[in-house]
């Protein structure tokens, strides 16, 4: 077979015996694991075994003995349903396991026993690859499009690190990102968003390998998909190559070399493959995609490969040694060379090396919080988006590896970093700390995940209502325990004139429903500062900051409780000296309504209490004794006030409590009038409190 690939001549050549055996071993392990589990996707690993082989064994700069080495190339299996392809590669290449602290252990990351227990409870070989479950899994994939979008963040992180830390004598960061993706990945809208970002920036270290197999679960892709993907990506600013046969490792090698030679844009390699390759009755059909082949078909496939049909999980003699002689030896040499550069860098640039060591270890540098402002009491106050911007700048100035941006809304979200040296991340300046995601909210969130797994502390900002577009990636940041920060302004009906389409109503409950996502809705400027301090100290959970467009008072902390209570998620703001008759709970701009109602109740002789609840998630993990101290169980007269739906509050207000908030969409008009129209006022809170006491 002869073809051309944008000037690259491709020709199928005979495999060496050991190369053929190694590739077919990948196929055999994948088929056997899926069949043993009676669940999974065998066809893609069978088709793409030569691609994974070529990338790992002959292309990547990767040391299996040091899988967390910062200078390594990264491989992302975006088509996560083909997870056995990745698990087989990690086992055969001898990738070592690491402990919780990142120390290398003298045992395999993926053992053969783990592969035999594919998709079973307790096995690290989950149905889709899960970040940190095993060394060599660079990010969690499965929801299609997320992995390739993460890879853009990884590539951006490498370019940023290179711009900030590489010197003429110290090339610490010059690694590449390889992402293997499917038709399904590229059908998802998020992948086009992310590809557009990568093409605009011209990321030369990013290579997507597209498995163009023309098959989906329902049948041929022509049922719903007829794009010319190569032409599309050329329009997005990518370097596009074609390989006509996934089994042609020589053509794959030439395409990968062409990627490395391209210095001004990302690369897409379109590879034609046959799903279920070698299974005579099921190859090139959707029957090879999402279900086990059956032992009889597997036996026939093994015969076509020249593998013994009666052996399962079979690794022929010499296969692992073959990988050790290639990726193992090459990776060892690259790692040792990098270590020498790193030692020299530490001597020459001790301060910058300390920054990197903090980043590598997931820690914050000393003094990161020293410039966080304390805001004076003010009846007029300020919008929390404004105070949030000041706090964000004060923190980022002292965390050199904190970078972020917004989906074309920085002037509104107040998230631009304006201190000296921040700069903009642009095609001609990869060292900038202000990112411009364009109107691409979903890709923004996924790119932030990619930067986070690369060691940076990223943030992404937009209007709160647009979390509808971001939810898939936000959920994955929580699954992966990544400390990504989401700055989400224009937090409710206070958006006012923009009306119902831009007024988030159900969004607080929707975000709080994501396990592990800490949702902060601070009630004044100093709560903003304290919530940021709290969130930054939590390195294993993402945080969402839900901030207002409209002003709210800044409380006088000589009159009200210290703001340090925010670190517990909820605290007694006022009325804590005696057992209350009624408890008023609020967040954000509605907290001041609770305070006004409290003052009226107290003036009339009612023993009232105000509880600020900036983060319900953190409050719920406090000791029960603390929760009972703040919300005494015997006090059933309770009112919660929030310009959203009631769903989040039922567990706090109980059966006898009252809720002042929204039960419908909003309306267009000045925000004060919108609040009045829907009855979210201090008077309504007071009335609800008296009704609760009377019930």
Q: Rounded CA gap, 448 and 417, in Å?
A: 16
Query: Is the per-residue pLDDT at 1 higher than 80?
Result: no
Element (H, E) at 178: strand 177-181
Query: Is the per-residue pLDDT at 16 higher than 90?
Result: no
Phi–psi pair at 240, nearest 5 degrees: -115, 130
Instruction: Classify domain 568-694 by CATH number.
Output: 3.40.50.920
- DSSP three-state, residue 582: strand
Query: Is the per-residue pLDDT at 2 higher than 70?
Result: no
Q: Rounded CA gap, 29 and 76, in Å?
A: 20
User: Is 441 one of the catalytic residues?
Assistant: yes
Reported confidence tier of residue 10, pLDDT bands at 50, 70, 90:
very low
Pairing of strands 206-212, 267-272: parallel
The b/e string for 115-131 (b: 16+ C-beta within 10 A; e otherwise) is bbbbbeeebbbbbbbbb
In the chain, pLDDT over 70 holds for what percent of residues?
A: 98
463-515: pLDDT as tens digits = 999 999 999 999 999 999 999 999 999 999 999 999 999 999 999 999 999 99
Reported confidence tier of residue 243, pLDDT bands at 50, 70, 90:
very high
Reported confidence tier of residue 11, pLDDT bands at 50, 70, 90:
very low
Q: Residue 17: how many CB atoms within 10 A of its CB?
A: 10
Q: 153 near 455, Cβ under 8 Å? A: no
Q: Residue 465: how many CB atoms within 10 A of its CB?
A: 21
Q: 83 near 110, Cβ under 8 Å? A: no
142-194: pLDDT as tens digits = 999 999 999 999 999 999 999 999 999 999 999 999 999 999 999 999 999 99
Reported confidence tier of residue 415, pLDDT bands at 50, 70, 90:
very high
DSSP for 100-122, please give it. TTS-EEEEESS-HHHHHTTTSTT
Distances (CA, A) of 580 to 584, 652, 692: 10, 15, 13
Query: Is the per-residue pLDDT at 652 higher than 70?
Result: yes
Query: Is the per-residue pLDDT at 7 higher than 80?
Result: no
Rounded mean pLDDT, 371-393: 98
Residue 429 per-residue DSSP state: B
CA-derived radius of gyration, the chain: 28
Q: 543 near 535, Cβ under 8 Å? A: yes
CATH class entry, domain 2-336: alpha beta
Query: Is the per-residue pLDDT at 298 higher than 70?
Result: yes
Vertex 355: Cα angle to 406 and 531 (nearest 5): 50
| CATH 3.20.20.30 assigned to 378-553 | no
Query: Is the per-residue pLDDT at 6 higher than 60?
Result: no
Q: Rounded CA gap, 108 and 111, in Å?
A: 6
Query: Is the per-residue pLDDT at 225 higher than 70?
Result: yes
Q: 416 near 167, Cβ under 8 Å? A: no
Rounded mean pLDDT, 635-646: 98
Q: 127 near 451, Cβ under 8 Å? A: no
Q: Where in the chain is the domain with CATH 3.40.50.920?
A: 568-694
Rounded mean pLDDT, 600-614: 98
E-strand ranges in 323-441 read 378-383, 402-406, 434-436
Q: 692 near 657, Cβ under 8 Å? A: yes
The b/e string for 612-633 (b: 16+ C-beta within 10 A; e otherwise) is bbbbbbbbeebeeeebeebbee
Query: Is the per-residue pLDDT at 376 higher than 60?
Result: yes
Catalytic residue among 138, 188, 441, 642: 441
Residues 6+ positions from 520 with CB-CB distance below 8 Å: 531, 534, 535, 543, 544, 545, 546, 614, 615
Q: 18 near 268, Cβ under 8 Å? A: no
What pLDDT is recorded for position 97? 98
DSSP for 459-472, please give it. EEEEEGGGHHHHHH
Q: Rounded CA gap, 680 and 597, in Å?
A: 12
Query: Six-digit token pair at 491?
Result: 């937090």
Give the residue among 320, 330, 332 at the shortest CA–CA distance from 88. 320
Query: Is the per-residue pLDDT at 301 higher than 90?
Result: yes
Q: What is the mean pLDDT of the chain?
A: 96
Q: Rounded CA gap, 599 and 594, in Å?
A: 9
DSSP for 508-522, please give it. HHHHHTSTT-EEE--
104-136: pLDDT as tens digits = 999 999 999 999 999 999 999 999 999 999 999
Q: Where in the chain is the domain with CATH 3.40.50.970?
A: 2-336, 378-553
- DSSP three-state, residue 202: coil
- The size of the chain, in residues, is 695
pTM for the model stands at: 0.96
| Beta-bridge partners for 216 | 219
Give the residue among 304, 307, 325 at the shortest CA–CA distance from 316. 307
- The answer for 482, left when phi > 0, alpha when psi is -120 to 50, beta otherwise, is beta
């Amino acid at each position: 077979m002869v073809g051309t690939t944008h000037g690259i001549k491709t020709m199928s050549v005979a495999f060496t015996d050991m190369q053929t055996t190694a590739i077919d071993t990948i196929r055999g392990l994948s088929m056997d694991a899926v069949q043993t589990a009676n669940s999974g996707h065998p066809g893609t690993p069978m088709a793409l075994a030569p691609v994974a082989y070529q990338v790992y064994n002959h292309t990547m700069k990767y040391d299996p003995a040091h899988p967390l080495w910062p200078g390594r190339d990264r491989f992302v299996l975006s088509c996560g349903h083909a997870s056995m392809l990745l698990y087989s590669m990690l086992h055969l290449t001898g990738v070592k396991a690491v402990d919780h602290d990142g120390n290398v252990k003298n045992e395999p990351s993926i053992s053969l026993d783990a592969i035999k227990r594919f998709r079973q409870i307790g096995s690290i070989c989950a149905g889709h690859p899960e970040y940190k479950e095993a060394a060599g899994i660079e990010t969690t994939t499965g929801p299609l499009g997320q992995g390739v979008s993460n890879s853009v963040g990884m590539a951006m992180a490498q370019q940023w690190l290179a711009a900030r830390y590489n010197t003429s004598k110290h090339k610490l960061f010059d690694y590449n990102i390889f992402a293997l993706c499917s038709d399904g990945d590229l059908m998802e809208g998020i992948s086009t968003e992310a590809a557009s970002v990568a093409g605009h920036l011209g990321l030369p270290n990013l290579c997507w390998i597209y498995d163009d197999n023309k098959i989906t679960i329902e049948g041929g892709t022509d049922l719903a998909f007829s794009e010319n993907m190569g032409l599309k990506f050329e329009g997005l600013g990518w370097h596009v190559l074609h390989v006509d046969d996934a089994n042609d490792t020589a053509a794959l090698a030439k395409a990968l070399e062409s990627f490395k030679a391209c210095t001004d844009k990302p690369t897409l390699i379109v590879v034609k493959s046959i799903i279920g390759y070698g299974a005579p009755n099921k190859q090139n059909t959707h029957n090879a995609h999402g279900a086990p082949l059956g032992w009889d078909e597997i036996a026939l496939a093994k015969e076509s490969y020249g593998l013994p049909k009666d052996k399962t999980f079979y690794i022929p003699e010499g296969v692992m040694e073959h990988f050790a002689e290639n990726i193992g030896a090459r990776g060892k040499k690259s790692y040792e060379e990098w270590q020498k550069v790193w030692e020299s860098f530490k001597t020459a640039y001790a301060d910058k090396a300390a920054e990197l060591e903090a980043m590598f270890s997931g820690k914050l540098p000393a003094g990161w919080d020293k410039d966080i402002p304390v805001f004076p009491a003010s009846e007029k106050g300020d919008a929390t988006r404004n105070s949030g911007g000041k706090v964000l700048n004060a923190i980022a100035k002292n965390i050199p590896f904190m970078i972020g941006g917004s989906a074309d809304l920085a002037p509104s979200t107040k998230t631009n970093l304006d201190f000296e040296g921040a700069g903009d991340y642009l095609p001609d300046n990869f060292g900038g700390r202000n990112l411009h995601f364009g109107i691409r909210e979903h890709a923004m969130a996924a790119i932030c995940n990619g930067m986070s797994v690369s060691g940076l502390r990223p943030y992404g900002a937009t209007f709160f209502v647009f979390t509808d577009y971001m939810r898939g990636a936000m959920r994955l940041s929580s699954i992966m325990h990544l400390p990504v920060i989401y700055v989400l302004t224009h937090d409710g009906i206070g958006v006012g004139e923009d009306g119902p389409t831009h007024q988030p109503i159900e969004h607080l409950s929707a975000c709080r429903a994501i396990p592990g996502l800490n949702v902060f809705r601070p009630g004044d400027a100093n709560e903003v500062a304290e919530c940021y301090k709290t969130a930054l100290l939590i390195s294993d959970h993402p945080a969402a900051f839900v901030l207002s467009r409209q002003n709210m008072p800044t409380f006088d902390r000589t009159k009200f409780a210290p703001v340090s209570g925010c670190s517990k998620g909820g605290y007694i703001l006022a009325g804590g000296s005696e057992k209350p008759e009624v408890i008023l709970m609020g967040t954000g701009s509605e907290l001041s309504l609770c305070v006004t109602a409290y003052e009226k109740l107290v003036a009339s002789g009612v023993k009232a209490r105000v509880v600020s609840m900036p983060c319900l998630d953190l409050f719920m993990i406090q000791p029960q004794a603390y929760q009972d101290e703040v919300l005494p169980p015997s006090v059933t007269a309770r009112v919660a006030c929030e310009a959203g739906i009631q769903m989040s509050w039922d567990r706090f207000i109980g059966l006898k409590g009252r809720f002042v908030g929204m039960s419908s969409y909003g309306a267009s008009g000045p925000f004060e009038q919108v609040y009045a129209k829907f009855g979210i006022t201090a008077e309504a809170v007071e009335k609800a409190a008296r009704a609760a006491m009377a019930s």
